[in-house]
Amino acid sequence: MKAVVFHDIGDIRLDDVPEPKIEQPMDAIVRITTSAICGTDLHFVRGTFSGMKQGTILGHEAVGIVEQLGGGVRNLSVGDRVVIPSTIACGYCSYCRAGYYAQCDNANPGGPTAGTAFFGGPEAAGGFNGLQAEKARVPFANVNLVKLPDEVTDDQAILLSDIFPTGYFGADMANIKHGHTVAVFGCGPVGQFAIASAKLMGAGRVLAVDHLPDRLDMARRQGAEVINFDEEDPVKIIMELTGGVGVDCAIDAVGVDAQCPHHGPAAKEAAGKKEQFQQEVEKVAPVQHPDGDNWVPGDAPSQALQWAVQALAKAGTLSIIGVYPPADDSFPIGAAMNKNLTIRMGNCNHRKYIPDLVELVRIGAIDPTAIVTRREEMDSVIDAYKEFDLRRPGWLKVELIESREGRVG
């Protein structure tokens, strides 16, 4: 079968690989009908998240059809259409039963203290093959497959695999109350869903910070008040917009590949931190293999965090859902402590949120498909990766569909 395979930092390929097989009684084999490219995938290719094993299939977002079931799976049938949560959980440990599926004691082969297990990630995350493939093995399938109603399309469901739950998780951790003013840093796919989720939770105002026009335009269409950090100082503008108080909640939807401003009034301060940012990049991405403009790490890993801490009101809440690797230790702890901030962060507990979000989509309360701006066949996936990596206009979220020659029916 065809799959997107990690060979090295800066080197991914569409390869022929063996089809997966049932290995444990709770496994399922799913034929993937729709997958997607995520910004987290780019961290591995850029080198800002290390530990990837050569030969690992990438991808952690997928919708598909159940083809085979292990003997222990009692709640699914062959032929069921399902969405696959990005993180892997057993469903029966104390953490899963408390809703902390991303901290499952049993899913990661490294043991209870190894951390989140997820598809298509580094060895520390379990080394599981990912979902940018024609078929995938899903462990603990009774928990890690969620059946889809007929009313929810594949185009909608692919966004329920990771980015909508992650955006919702970020808004949930931000402890948004009705009337709160929320700042979302980063208007990529997860940031867009953080905006949407903040509004679902009753935020009075949402301020959205980015520098890419198409992303800011989409945020504006959602009703967010947009701030372009290459044209104005985002912290100064946020303070002006909030009467000098700051925001009640901030959501970092950027992560380690943050970029600093290179134009406008905020560029001077960023230039003064150039050496600091360079040291941060060298720490989180000691190995880099750029290919022209592709696979280049962000130039200011802590930029979004610094702005978020500065923009928050005293006693505000910072929610961090942007991905940061274990090697990153550049959080502005002193500034956060002096403002009595509450800081919440982590990998999304996807399985906690997906059933409720499926229902919201089914009843028409929200249609997530506006986020998808490109639909590409698997045959052109490497080119799609490169365009997505460059943040080209119109490449906000890339859905991957079966190549025509590989489709059934």
pLDDT tens for 128-162 read 999 999 999 999 999 999 999 999 999 999 999 99
Q: What is the mean pLDDT of residues 365-381?
A: 95
Does the structure show a pLDDT above 70 at 407?
no
Q: Is the pLDDT score of 406 beyond 70?
A: no
pTM above 0.85, yes or no: yes
Amino acid letter at 293? Answer: D
**pLDDT band per the 50, 70, 90 thresholds, residue 405:** low
In which order are the strands placed within the sheet that holds 181-185?
225-228, 205-210, 181-185, 247-252, 312-320, 342-345
**Distance, C-alpha 267 to centroid of its chain:** 27
- Give the mean model confidence (pLDDT) for residues 393-403: 93
Task: Answer yes or no: is pLDDT of 382 > 60.
Answer: yes
E strand segments, 9-76: 11-16, 28-37, 62-69
Give the mean pLDDT of 110-131. 97
Of the pLDDT bands very low, low, confident and very high (cuts 50, 70, 90), residue 52 is very high
Q: For residues 286-292, give the mean pLDDT.
A: 96
Q: Give the pLDDT mean for 290-296.
A: 97
Quick: pLDDT tens for 306-345: 999 999 999 999 999 999 999 999 999 999 999 999 999 9
Q: Is the pLDDT of residue 403 over 90?
A: no
pLDDT at 2: 97
Task: Determine the average pLDDT of the residues in 213-233.
Answer: 97
**Is the predicted pLDDT of residue 399 greater than 50, yes or no?**
yes
Q: Which residues pair with 65 in a beta bridge?
A: 31, 81
Calculate mean pLDDT across residues 370-378. Answer: 94
* Average pLDDT of the residues of the chain: 96
Average pLDDT over residues 215-242: 98
H helix runs in 50-188, sequence order: 94-97, 141-144, 154-157, 163-173
- With a cut of 90, say whether residue 408 has pLDDT above it: no
**Pairing mode, strands 225-228 and 247-252:** unpaired
What percentage of the chain reaches a pLDDT higher than 90? 98
**DSSP single-letter state for residue 24:** S
pLDDT of residue 135: 98
pLDDT, position 409: 34
pLDDT of residue 402: 86
Distances in Å between the Cα of 309 and the Cα atoms of 185, 196, 304, 340 are 11, 22, 9, 11
